[in-house]
């Protein structure tokens, strides 16, 4: 048995899985834990939508993003009866969480998440707090819209109440999107720095300075006294800084390991949460939605007992 | 051809983490097109960083998020977008912008920002604010220490 499969919660080596079986089969997610995942994600998806549309302007024609290239989405800033749209979205998300008509019930959240998010990011300033949630919404929506599975025939019930494998696939897609978001972020760092990102880590002190002072100018709360210490440490011990922040880069680049199995997902999810908490502390940059998504899909709190059971139901 | 496609399909199915790989390549190619992103935050670690902030008429900082419901980092990006639109057609980088070009970009930013001012929040500050000023400041590493440039006034407007 390989180390990877043993740690992934398995008794058989990974290649023994049939090619038709998705990696998610190794997670053997049960109905209850997926219900909790959907409930928690529904709450995250609702709060990730920037409902304060009144503060938005028309899209900047030179800075259009996503569907704004093809459709005029300026109307989102003048949404009338927004309370009704919020209620519709909440009702939809509750039905989705119950696992009923998920493609239809996810649609309002998907519509507002992408519509408002696109307008907000077409103002001339791109913010990266909600893309992950919107991409997961899109991924899950597509899984439920095309609920194909090799083990069952397509019928009306496939859309009304998707089978367990389809629900598992929706969670699998969420994990894939989550992992890919981190891998691509790591890759972008290497690509844009011509592979010299770790070498240039001491320059990150300037970004620390900027983000901490930005927080001050946002709220007038004093800049943390630790900032000066951290900046000095980075300047005086650049190798230490490279090891510390370089570690973060490797966490991003190897995020695909989450897909090995439940235990990998659990520990890797925790590592990512710790990474975000460190960034939050050092740079005053909070990625709460990323932390919550890691907690919901990777750490999977209601499934912890199952994660650390000696063998799961598949014998893996 | 059919055999070749079948071979590709078999190889693809044997590839570990193939779905993450495909999603990563896709995100990398698509780039910044909401909801997709290649998450480029802090990928380019330049030799300087910058902040933008708002003050009253006596240059005392005002809390941007409290008063405008938006962050200084977001508004700095808007300012830089405006500045690029002014400088780039003249084949110049924003770091070489002239004071009047910065003022032009600052005025455009003020035009967008001003209607978002939450007057009741301003009143709650208990200060006699009669004007708003926008400043832009650059940080640089000098001999191992971070030094901030003299703040540049880029916009001013009476209330």
Q: Which residues pair with B50 in a beta bridge?
A: B138
Q: What is the pLDDT of residue A150?
A: 67
Q: What is the pLDDT of residues B44-75, one digit of tens each?
A: 888 899 999 999 999 999 999 999 999 999 99
What residues in B contact A137, CB-CB < 8 Å? 35
pLDDT at res. A15 = 41
Residues 6+ away with beta carbon under 8 Å from A234 = A201, A202, A204, A205, A208, A241
**Angle at the Cα of B145 from the Cα atoms of B141 and B149, rounded to 5 degrees:** 55
Percent of chain A at pLDDT exceeding 70: 90
Q: To probe the interface with B, which of A69, A188, A199, A289 has the most B CB atoms within 10 Å?
A: A188
Helix, strand, coil percentages for chain A (3-state, nearest 5): 70, 0, 30
Nearest chain B alpha carbon to A202: B45
Choosing among B10, B33, B39, which should be mutated to test the A contact, i.e. which has the most A CBs within 10 A? Answer: B39
Helix boundaries (H) for A79-203:
82-97, 102-120, 131-145, 156-160, 164-192
CA distance A275 to A281: 10
* Residue A22 banded pLDDT, cuts 50, 70, 90: low
Mean pLDDT of A253-282: 95
DSSP E strand boundaries for A218-301: none
Tell me the pLDDT tens digit for each residue of A288-308.
999 999 999 999 999 999 999
Q: Which residues of B touch A188 (CB under 8 A)?
A: 28, 38-40, 43
CB contact under 8 A, A134 and B35: yes
For chain A, helix (H) and strand (E) counts, in that order, are 13, 0
Mutation test of the interface with chain B: which of A114, A210, A231, A286, choosing the one with the most B Cβ atoms within 10 A? A210
Q: In the structure, what pLDDT confidence band is assigned to residue A158 with cuts at 50, 70 and 90? A: confident
**pLDDT-based confidence at A311, cuts 50/70/90?**
low
Hey, are the CB atoms on B53 and A179 less than 8 Å from each other? no
Asked whether the predicted pLDDT for residue A120 surpasses 60, the reply is: yes
Q: What is the pTM of this model?
A: 0.88
In the prediction, which pLDDT does A91 show?
98
User: What is the pLDDT of chain A when averaged over all its residues?
Assistant: 89
Average pLDDT over residues A71-94: 95
For residue A270, the tally of other CB atoms under 10 A from its CB is 14
Rg, Å, chain B Cα set: 23
Per-domain residue ranges of chain A? 26-147+160-309
**What gap in Å lies between CA A177 and CA B91, rounded to an integer?**
39
Contact B141 A205 (CB under 8 A): yes
- Grouped pLDDT means (10 residues each) for chain B, 159 residues: 88 89 97 97 90 96 94 93 92 90 96 92 91 95 81 95
Q: What are the residues whose beta carbons fall under 8 Å from the beta carbon of A197, sequence distance 6 or more?
A: A189, A190, A249, B43, B45
Answer yes or no: is pLDDT of A316 > 60. no
Worst-scoring range by mean pLDDT, A75-89, A151-165, A276-290?
Answer: A151-165
Q: Which residues pair with A149 in a beta bridge?
A: A152
pLDDT at residue A151 in the model:
66
| Residue pLDDT, tens place only, A208-225 | 999 999 999 999 999 988
| Set of chain B residues whose Cβ sits within 8 Å of the Cβ of A138 | 35
Comparing CA positions, the residue from B25, B146, B76, B48 lying closest to residue A232 is B146
Largest CA distance in chain A: 65
- CA distance linking residue A222 with residue B142, whole number of Å: 24
Confirm if A94 and A41 have CB atoms less than 8 A apart.
Answer: no
Closest alpha carbon to B146 in B133, B155, B137: B137
Query: How many cross-chain Cβ pairs, A to B, lie less than 8 Å apart?
Result: 189
Model pLDDT for residues A225-258, shown as the tens digit of each residue? 888 888 888 888 999 999 999 999 999 999 999 9
Give the pLDDT mean for A41-58: 94
Query: Whose CA is closest to B51, among A217, A34, A25, A252?
Result: A217
Residue B138, helix vs strand vs coil: strand
* φ/ψ of residue A71, rounded to 5: -125, 140
How far apart, in Å, are the Cα atoms of A193 and each of A251, B39, B42, B46, B139?
18, 14, 10, 10, 20
CB spacing of A220 vs B63 below 8 angstroms: yes
Task: Give percent of chain A with pLDDT exceeding 90.
Answer: 74
Range with lowest mean pLDDT among A200-204, A272-276, A294-298: A200-204
Which residues in A lie closer than 8 A to residue B74 (C-beta atoms)?
Answer: 125, 127
A274 pLDDT exceeds 50?
Answer: yes
Q: Which residue has the higher pLDDT, A55 or A139?
A: A139
Would you say how long chain B is, in residues? 159
B51, β-bridge pairs: B137
A5-14, A77-86, A247-256, A289-298: least confident range: A5-14
Where residue A69 falls among pLDDT bands split at 50, 70, 90? very high
Mean pLDDT of A133-137: 98
DSSP assignment string, A125-145: ----SSHHHHHHHHHHHHHHH
Percent of chain B, pLDDT > 90?
71
Residues in chain A: 316
Distance CA A295, CA A41 (A): 10
């Amino acid at each position: 048995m390989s180390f990877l499969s043993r740690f992934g919660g398995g008794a058989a080596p990974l290649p023994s899985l049939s090619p038709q079986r998705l990696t998610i089969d190794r997670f053997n997610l049960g109905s209850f834990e997926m219900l909790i995942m959907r409930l928690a994600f529904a709450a995250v998806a609702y709060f990730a939508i920037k409902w304060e549309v009144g503060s938005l302007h028309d899209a900047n024609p030179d800075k259009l993003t996503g569907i704004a290239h093809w459709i005029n989405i300026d109307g989102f800033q003048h949404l009338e009866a927004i309370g009704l749209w919020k209620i519709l979205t909440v009702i939809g998300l509750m039905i989705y969480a119950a696992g009923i008509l998920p493609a239809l019930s996810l649609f309002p959240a998907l519509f507002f998440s992408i519509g408002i998010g696109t307008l907000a990011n077409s103002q001339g300033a791109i913010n990266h707090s909600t893309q992950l949630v919107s991409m997961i919404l899109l991924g899950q929506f597509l899984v439920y819209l095309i609920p194909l599975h090799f083990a069952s025939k397509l019928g009306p019930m496939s859309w009304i109440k998707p089978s367990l494998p389809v629900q598992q696939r929706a969670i699998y897609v969420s994990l894939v999107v989550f992992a890919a978001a981190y891998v691509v972020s790591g890759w972008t760092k290497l690509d844009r720095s011509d592979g010299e990102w770790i070498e240039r880590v001491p320059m990150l002190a300037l970004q620390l300075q900027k983000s901490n002072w930005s927080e001050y100018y946002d709220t007038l709360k004093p800049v943390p006294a630790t900032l000066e210490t951290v900046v000095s440490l980075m300047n005086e011990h650049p190798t230490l800084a490279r090891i510390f922040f370089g570690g973060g880069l490797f966490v991003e680049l190897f995020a695909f390991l989450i897909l090995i199995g439940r235990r990998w997902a659990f520990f890797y999810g925790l590592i990512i949460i710790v990474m975000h908490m460190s960034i939050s502390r050092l740079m005053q940059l909070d990625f709460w939605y990323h932390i919550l998504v890691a907690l919901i899909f990777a750490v999977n709190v209601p499934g912890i007992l199952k994660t650390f059971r000696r063998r799961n139901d598949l014998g893996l | 051809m059919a055999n070749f496609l079948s071979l590709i399909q078999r190889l693809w199915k044997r590839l570990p983490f193939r779905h993450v790989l495909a999603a990563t390549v896709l995100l990398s190619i698509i780039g910044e097109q909401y909801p997709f992103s290649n998450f480029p935050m802090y990928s380019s670690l330049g030799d300087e960083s910058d902040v933008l902030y708002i003050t009253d008429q006596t240059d005392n900082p005002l809390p941007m998020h409290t008063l405008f419901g938006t962050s200084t980092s977001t508004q700095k990006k808007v300012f830089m977008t405006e500045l690029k639109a002014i400088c780039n057609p003249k084949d110049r980088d924003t770091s070489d912008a002239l004071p009047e070009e910065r003022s032009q970009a600052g005025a455009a930013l003020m035009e967008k920002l001003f209607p978002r001012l939450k007057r009741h929040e301003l009143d709650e500050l208990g200060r006699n604010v009669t004007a708003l000023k926008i400043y832009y400041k650059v940080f640089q590493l000098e001999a191992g220490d971070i030094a901030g440039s003299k703040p540049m006034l880029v916009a001013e407007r009476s209330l």
